[in-house]
Structure formats: structure tokens, C-alpha cells
Amino acid sequence: MTHLPIDDCERILATPADAPALSRPSSGLVELALAVGGFAIGTGEFAIMGLLPNVADGLGVSTPVAGHVISAYALGVVVGAPAIALLAAKMTRRVLLIGLMALFALGNVASAFAPDYASLMLFRFLSGVPHGAYFGVAALVAASMVPHHKRTQAVGRVMLGLTVATLIGTPFATFVGQFFGWRSLFAIVGAIGVLTVVLIAALLPQDMVKEGASALRELGAFRRKQVWLTLGIAAIGFGGMFSVFSYIVATAMAVAGMPESSAPLIMACFGTGMVAGNLAGAWLADRSLMGTIGGMLCLNTVVLVVFALTASIPFMLCACVFLIGCGVAVGPALQTRLMDVAGDAQTLAAALNHSAFNVANALGAWFGGLAIAAGYGFASTAWVGAAMSVGGLAVFAVSLMAERRSVAASA
């Protein structure tokens, strides 16, 4: 591929607020390459939820204990996102993205050959390490390639890879995993990761390290109150989605009486909701950023309560799973919110967004597992989720009031 001149690349990969747009064919190809990486990550992260009973049987542990594998991956994201953002502050974004996806592919191949539960926990943790930094840097690259008022939609198109994974990749991988064993899931994800490395190397232009980039400058994100509040909204408010979905197949079987073969259908319902929510949420966020975030928190609370009351009805379970998937609409919105409040610490703040969502993943799966183990039944995960959504609304209210006070003080 013919690379753009260095000066042009530096402008392309500048901060979202001041960068000119690439031509649509060029930006579209880059977004496609980045979205394929999101597809790999989404397939690996969500398909395991549909195969938890298989993992539990294969490793000789209970389903709630097997659920800790999900938490191990989420912990890897939480630890890896800020660590990589700081250690790689002086790396070019192209080189960093290639390295991150190579590490992700390696971790999934290792997971496919894990001999026991302990080693699988370790490999899932390592697989999660590049997750947050990859999406954070990919979002910055995508937002820098379009006009400022369309940046959330550009981020949404990159995130579309993640949501399409839940619609196509996850049901397919779940189906294959049920017939050829859960290890085949990680082999497939590793192969897609390798493909992503090739696409990014071929399509993303060479770039330069931004002048003044350093770990110290990135650490400035931690001094900003609104950065912490935005991360809190994601970490607390959206744990409910993971609390329910981590055990959704077991819930469908135990509460709604659905057969294990319905797992791909349930995953497809969730995936359809995520795709619809991602597209609609990105469009709405470019028009009302805070309105989209607050509205989705309210919607999630209502849906989770309805799920808890109607999970025994197969149709209602599937409908609620679709609506829970729509909750991903807040992802691009929170990513853009962090761009607005992070100042010159863009890379760390962008990566921390995915750390926060995986804190939600870990907390949701853990609290949901505790409720099940305590004997409250699988449907109790929705009550746990509704409580977490209300907590997220409280953090959102604090953020909104703090911003309004700041604006009033400036005026």
C-alpha cells in the first residue's frame, strides 16, 4: 500500500478536535480494519458466556466458578488499559495497535490449549490486557479522521465490530463450541486476531508520535474530576448488563425451561440489540451526549426489572435480552465524553473507558454469581443489575450537577 506523507499522517492522527477528515474511502478502510479487531475481541469476550456450562463440565468446576474466567479477562482489561497507555505513551498509534492485537491473538491461542482451570484463568487475564488500550487508541484514530460533529458516529463504526460479533461471531462460535468443544472458540478468535494484524499493517498510514507525548502527561487524566465520574458511570451503571448476560444460557435453561440448543438464538437476540443500540446511540450522542447517557441508564433499569419479573416466559426473556443488548448504546457516548473532559491525556482516558466497562463486567458477573450461589435463583441477577443501574444514575447526577456548577461559575 502507498503510505501518506509523514506530515499528512501527523495531521490525520492528531486529537479529534483539530484534525481534518480523510476522504471517505480511506477512512472507511481504516475503520474496517479496526472494526475487525473489535469483532475478534467481541467474539472472544461474549461467546464464552454462552459456553460456561461446557467450560464447567470440561474443567470439572461449577458454572458459577467457571464464571470467574470472565472476571479474569475483565481484570486483565482493567489492569492492562492504563498500564499500556502509560508505557506506550511515546509509541506511534499504528505500531501500538499492531502490537496490541498480536498480543490478543497470542493469548487466545494459549487459552485454546490451557490444560486446567488455573492456566485458563491466567491466559484469559493475559488476553484481556490489550483489550482496553486497543479500543481506546482505535477510537482516537477513528474520531481524528472525520469532522468534529461526527466523531461519535466514527467511534460507533469502529465499535460496530464488537456489536456485530455478538450478532454473528458469538452465536457462530457458541454453536461451534458446543459441537467441537469450547477450546475451538479461542482458536477461532486467535485466527481473527492475526487477520486484524495484517489489515492494520496494510491499511493504517504511518504516523508520528505527538509532540510532548509522555506518561506524565497522560497521568494528568487522573487529576480531572469529570474523568473519574464518567468512568464511575460505566463501572457501576452498566454492571447490570453483565450480571444478567454472564449467566443468560443457564437462566434460560433453569428458569424459562429452554433447551441448551437455544443458546445461539439467545446470543443472536443480544447481538441484534447491541448492533441497533450502537448505531442509534452513536447518532443520538452526536446530538445530545449527556441526554443519551442518562436516558440509557433509565432504560436499562426498567428493562432489568421487567426481566426479573418475566424471565420464566421464553418470549419475554428473549425480548429483554434484546433490550439489554441495546444498552451498549452508551459505549460510544461515554468514549466521546472522555475525549471532552480528558484534556491532553486522551490516550489514557480513552483506554480507561474500557477498563471501566470491564470493571462492570467483573462486578456484574461476580455479584450475579453470589446471588445465584446464595440460593436466590438465576433470575436474581436482574435485580442485582437493576440496583447497579440505579447506582450509575446517581453517579451521572453528580457529574451533571458538577458540570452545571462549573459552567455557572465560569459565566
Task: Report pTM.
Answer: 0.74
Supply the Cα-derived Rg of the chain in whole angstroms.
Answer: 20
Q: What is the mean pLDDT of residues 328-332?
A: 83
Domain assignments of the chain as residue spans, ordered by start: 17-405
In 312-379, which residue ranges form alpha helices assigned H by DSSP?
314-326, 330-341, 346-373
Q: What is the mean pLDDT of residues 308-332?
A: 89
The residue assigned the cell 471532552 is: 340
pLDDT class for 70, splitting at 50, 70, 90?
confident
pLDDT tens, 9-46? Answer: 444 444 444 444 444 447 778 888 899 999 999 888 87
Largest Cα–Cα separation, the chain: 64
Give the sign of the dihedral formed by CA 356, CA 135, CA 5, CA 194: positive
pLDDT of residue 207: 67
CA-to-CA dists, residue 404 to 226, 330, 392, 396, angstroms: 12, 21, 18, 12
**Sequence-distant contacts of 4-7: CB under 8 A, at least 24 apart:** 4/205, 4/206, 6/206, 6/208
pLDDT of residue 214: 62
Q: What is the mean pLDDT of residues 112-126?
A: 88
Q: CA 311: distance to chain centroid? A: 25
pLDDT class for 216, splitting at 50, 70, 90?
low
Determine whether 115 is exposed, middle or buried from the number of CB atoms within 10 Å of its CB (0-12, 13-18, 19+): exposed
CA-to-CA dists, residue 319 to 162, 354, 388, angstroms: 21, 27, 21
Greater model confidence, 63 or 11: 63
Cα(307)–Cα(324) distance, rounded to whole angstroms?
A: 9
The residue assigned the cell 478536535 is: 17
Closest among 199, 103, 209 to 158, alpha carbons compared: 199
Report the residue count for the chain.
Answer: 411
Class of domain 17-405: mainly alpha
pLDDT tens, 165-207? Answer: 877 887 788 788 878 888 888 899 999 999 999 999 888 877 6
pLDDT of residue 34: 92
